[in-house]
Amino acid sequence: MGATIDDVVARAREDDVRLIRFLYCDPSGVIRGKNVHVDRLASRMHEGVGLTRGQNAVNMLDHFVPIEGMEPVGEIRIVPDPDTYTLLDWVPRTAGLLCDQLGHDWTDWGSCTRSFLKRANDAAAAQGIRFMASLENEFYLAEEVGGVVRPYMDGPVYSSAGMDRVADVMDDIVSAVESQGLEVEQAINEYGPGQQEIAIRYADALRAADNQLKFRDAVRGVAEVEHGLIASFAAKPFADGVGSGAHIHFSPWSTDGSRNLLHDPEAGDRLLSPTGRQFVAGVLDHLPALVALTCPSFNSYERLRPQAWAGATVSWGLDNRECSVRVASSFRGREMESTNVELKACDPSCNPYLALGGLILAGLDGIARRLEPPDPATKDPSVMSPEEQQRCGIAPLPTSLRAALANLQADSVLFPALGDLLGRCIVGVRTAEIEQLEAMSPEEARLAHLRVF
């Protein structure tokens, strides 16, 4: 049984909390919310907090975008999930709750991204599938010196020197992430100057998306409030630095949690079970549209390029880090549990509810249509011969957000699943961002993303 309103209020009192943030992730990927005083917590959890219908039409640059049905007339409610309560250690006397956006009838009003993921989960459950996932985040630590933003510290990738130089910051970050109830599996310095990576243990899809919001806030909060630094989850914040991904590691399981449906001990060169192969085939089939949700920012397409370990093609393979879909080799003694697939064509500017919901629906469509994937790529797709590329179904992914949005609108599964209002919102908000960012210099556009994500 989950937590109740009374449980949350009692815990907030015990934690000596004064303000509780009612948080949500909008279609542009920005984490937003409102503060509620602890004395009003019980009533606001029961009633929800008012929010104008127009708020979801505010893009990442905080510009309001005219969208029919999202005028600044009428209200919805942000309603917290009691199970998501956590104390925010980096700010005084403050806790957080993650919220759904509901209409006055207490159902999705048409643009709740968390509800979209719930619908995808329900579709999976109807087929006997419980979807497990984790987002493996890369991010940059940076500092502003003399009005110039530059990476904070550097060291050889995966080196003791590189880890030493940011040890104090990373220790505080890991502590805050763990206090959010997340289990840290790995924390390392990555290839770019100032670039870090933290891997979180997997959970069911809704909790994985919730965890991503908690993770982003904790990293950013600790870096800014406790160390005076910038933590950026932008896909490509520095022109001469490598991009940052939020690789989605995923596996469909039986609903009772007893079987990983990707695993087949006899798979051999087939890599995955028949169900797993169908799921992957569905992801590959929809990937040119799916990247509008997993690589959703203007800046994403500076990262999503060949020979950048970003997965810039429709491709899959065993431990092939240039493929967009990597079958990860399992760990000895945990073969069934650890069999998973990694979507590399995803970055941390995404709204995780949209990214995971789209991924689930793409895979389920592959199962429904009994799709079969092409041959897996055994080397970098960009250096394969035309004959090899054809055999492995290699095709380029969109090179711009504008092209990805066009693919999304043309996709007969993903776009209708978003619903009319949310679909129009995503296209409208993102198109407005494109137009504003195209008017900037490349450096100005990168800096805009660096500051927001």
SS3 of residue 320 by DSSP: coil
Confidence of residue 154 (pLDDT cuts 50, 70, 90): confident
C-alpha–C-alpha distance, residues 10 and 209, integer Å: 26
> Is 203 buried (19+), middle (13-18) or exposed (0-12) by CB count in 10 A?
middle
Q: Residue 57: in which H helix or E strand, if any?
A: none
Residue 186 in this model has a pLDDT that exceeds 90: yes
Q: Identify whether the C-beta of residue 43 lies closer than 8 Å to the C-beta of residue 75.
A: no
CA torsion through residues 387, 390, 392, 397, sign: positive
Q: Note the Cα 322 to chain centre separation in Å.
A: 20
What pLDDT shows up at residue 1? 61
What pLDDT shows up at residue 34? 97
Q: Which tokens in the block code for residue 374?
A: 């092409």
Report the range of poorest mean pLDDT among 46-55, 97-106, 329-338.
329-338
Identify the CA nearest to 437 among candidates 236, 241, 288, 242.
236
C-alpha–C-alpha distance, residues 384 and 113, integer Å: 38
SS3 of residue 133 by DSSP: strand
Residue 312 in this model has a pLDDT that exceeds 70: yes
Residue 331 in this model has a pLDDT that exceeds 80: yes
What pLDDT shows up at residue 262? 93
Report the range of poorest mean pLDDT among 216-225, 290-299, 375-384.
375-384
Secondary structure (DSSP) of 175-193: HHHHHTT--EEEEEE-SST
The arithmetic mean of pLDDT across residues 99-126, rounded, is 96
What pLDDT shows up at residue 420? 97
Three-state SS sequence of 77-142: EEEECHHHCEECCCCCCEEEEEEEEECCCCCECCCCHHHHHHHHHHHHHHCCEEEEEEEEEEEEEE
% of the chain at pLDDT higher than 90:
88
C-alpha–C-alpha distance, residues 385 and 44, integer Å: 61
C-alpha–C-alpha distance, residues 139 and 189, integer Å: 10
CA-based angle 370:371:377, to the nearest 5? 145
Identify the CA nearest to 350 among candidates 294, 425, 431, 407.
294
The arithmetic mean of pLDDT across residues 151-156, rounded, is 89
Q: Identify whether the C-beta of residue 316 lies closer than 8 Å to the C-beta of residue 376.
A: yes
What pLDDT shows up at residue 269? 84
The arithmetic mean of pLDDT across residues 418-429, rounded, is 97
What pLDDT shows up at residue 131? 96
C-alpha–C-alpha distance, residues 222 and 308, integer Å: 29
The arithmetic mean of pLDDT across residues 441-450, rounded, is 95
C-alpha–C-alpha distance, residues 233 and 226, integer Å: 18
The arithmetic mean of pLDDT across residues 141-164, rounded, is 90
What pLDDT shows up at residue 329? 84
Tens of pLDDT, residues 346-396: 999 999 999 999 999 999 999 999 999 999 999 999 999 999 999 999 999
